[in-house]
Amino acid sequence: MNTTLIPDVTLTFSPECCKEYTGMAFDGNYFFLTVPSELKICKFSLDFILCCLIDTYRPYTSISYDNKENCFWAWNEDSTETLFKLDREMKEISRIGLCPQDGSCPRITAVSYHRQTNTFLAAFTNTVAEFKKNGQFIRTLQEADNIQFSSVLSVLSCYATVCDSGGNQVIQFFTHADKFNWFSCYSTDRKCCTTAGITV
């Protein structure tokens, strides 16, 4: 079954808001978009009206909101194993290192705060793992030599990953309980080729 996703709303930014955004977080009231090329984070209202530009100490590649501590967690490509804790003003207040159980400490490609378990889900090149907020490894969720994970996202009691497999981009959804896996596969030209569901 082929599927084409059509957005409900498409917004056009004014020229001063056209930047090289790489990451986004939402705290329930505002959107925060990272602009590492300018060392900034842009804060937008629910209607995507620019509220302010926040200067940052590092070129943060992406960001995730932590509702338990009312803070943000950010990372960049220069600090490949480090997660930075930011306050509401986007000032660094602490940092932690994330390494899988084998201690190899590969490059982080994405991190998502999981609000139900108060943990982090971290994607590395060939691994997705769960960590406590002090950086302690909990468990490996996925591991594959022939797949490269580029993103991970917590969605209620589930989590989703984006990965490249054999020239195709794959989006996978998992529950923490039974690991039901639903995925959509896209060819490199982004034309949808298949949709399927499997249980692992």
pLDDT value at residue 80: 73
pTM of the complete model: 0.76
Q: State the DSSP H helix or E strand holding residue 75, giving kind and residue range, or none if neither.
A: strand 71-75
How far, in Å, CA of 50 to CA of 30, rounded?
A: 10
**Which has the closest alpha carbon to 128: 114, 116, 144?**
144
- State how beta strands 127-131 and 119-124 pair: antiparallel
pLDDT value at residue 159: 82
**Which has the closest alpha carbon to 115: 27, 22, 12?**
27
How far, in Å, CA of 114 to CA of 63, rounded?
A: 13
Q: What is the mean pLDDT of each run of 10 residues along the chain (200 residues)?
A: 61 79 89 93 92 95 92 86 93 88 73 89 86 90 82 79 78 63 41 30
Under DSSP, is residue 78 helix (H, G, I), strand (E, B) or coil?
Answer: coil
